Amino acid sequence: MRFLLISICFLFISCGSYPKKQHLELSDTPLKSIENPYFSDASIDYVYKASIDVYKRNFSGLLIIKKIAEEQHRVAFTTEMGNKLFDFTFTEDNFQVNFILEELDKNLLIQVLEKDFRVLVTQNLIISNSYTNIQYPVYQTQINNKNHYYFFEDNELTKVVRSKYGKEKVRFLFSEIKHRIAHQIKIKHQNIPLEINLKSIIQ
């Protein structure tokens, strides 16, 4: 009986929302929306040296992101030698594969990449809730109907967490931020062994 009670308690705890588990305090904000500035300048060619670790294998190449119109981005990946592996177009409510190497043309992979890169390129986000984490603000937003939590430190976006059933699924970390460019970006998945590290080589 006691065991059952404990289990029920655990069930309640594990079903708690992400902010609750992270001890985030609900707070008021006059803000209606927030901005991710890191891929928002249409005059910049955002080029990153990318290192991808997936299932104990490592791949590298160049991740290239360009804002081509309002709420429109191209995201392409090439090897260091210039061979294009994929090339996607993101618009506010659409996603298009312009090119993908036959060996990589797998639905599951494309879906993971689409979800991750959409977080990078989505510039304006509507706030559904706001919290504080010690002294810094955290904003809850939705991308593709999934909860995403945006963490700011000293007015700079430093972390985004995608959660599901109150659990962290993917973590995006932005660092070495200068002039609205994050020179280091890490995307870490918690439920699959996938980690993407990006280092800017913006010329």
Partner 1 sequence: MRKVVFLLFFVSLAIQAQTKMSVTEAEALKTLVKQQALTTKTIYSDFTQYKHLDFLSNDIVSKGKLAFKTPNLVKWEYTEPYNYAVIFKNETLFINDEGKKNQIDMGSNKMFKELNTLIINSIKGDMFDDTAFDISYYKKDKHHEVHFIPKDKKSSKYIQAFQLIFNTKGDVIEVKMIEPSGDFTKIVFTNRELNKPLADAVFTN
The verdict on 35 binding partner 1 (CB under 8 A) reads no
The verdict on 63 binding partner 1 (CB under 8 A) reads no
Give the residue, chosen from 52, 64, 109, 143, that forms a contact with partner 1 under the rule CB under 8 A: 64
Q: Choose the binding region for partner 1 from 101-109, 110-118, 136-144, 181-189 (rule: CB under 8 A).
A: 101-109
Give the residue, chosen from 31, 99, 126, 175, that forms a contact with partner 1 under the rule CB under 8 A: 99
Q: Choose the binding region for partner 1 from 7-15, 22-30, 93-101, 182-190 (rule: CB under 8 A).
A: 93-101
- According to DSSP, residue 59 is labeled E
The verdict on 68 binding partner 1 (CB under 8 A) reads yes
Q: Please choose, from the candidates 13, 52, 20, 37, the residue with its C-alpha nearest in 3D space to the C-alpha of residue 149.
A: 20
Cα distance between residue 21 and residue 103, in whole Å: 40
Report the C-alpha dihedral over residues 125, 166, 162, 154, rounded to 10 degrees: 70
The verdict on 58 binding partner 1 (CB under 8 A) reads yes
Q: Which residue has the tokens 């990318």?
A: 50
Q: Choose the binding region for partner 1 from 57-65, 117-125, 165-173, 179-187 (rule: CB under 8 A).
A: 57-65
For residue 63, list its beta bridge partners: 48, 77
Q: Choose the binding region for partner 1 from 28-36, 76-84, 158-166, 173-181 (rule: CB under 8 A).
A: 76-84
CA distances from 3 to 11, 15, 81, 170 (A): 12, 18, 60, 33
Cα distance between residue 58 and residue 49, in whole Å: 13
Determine contact, residues 180/202, Cβ cutoff 8 Å: no
The verdict on 83 binding partner 1 (CB under 8 A) reads yes
The residues that touch partner 1, with contacts defined as CB under 8 A, are: 43-45, 47, 49, 51, 58, 60, 62, 64, 66, 68, 74, 76, 78, 80-84, 87, 98-99, 101-103, 199, 201, 203
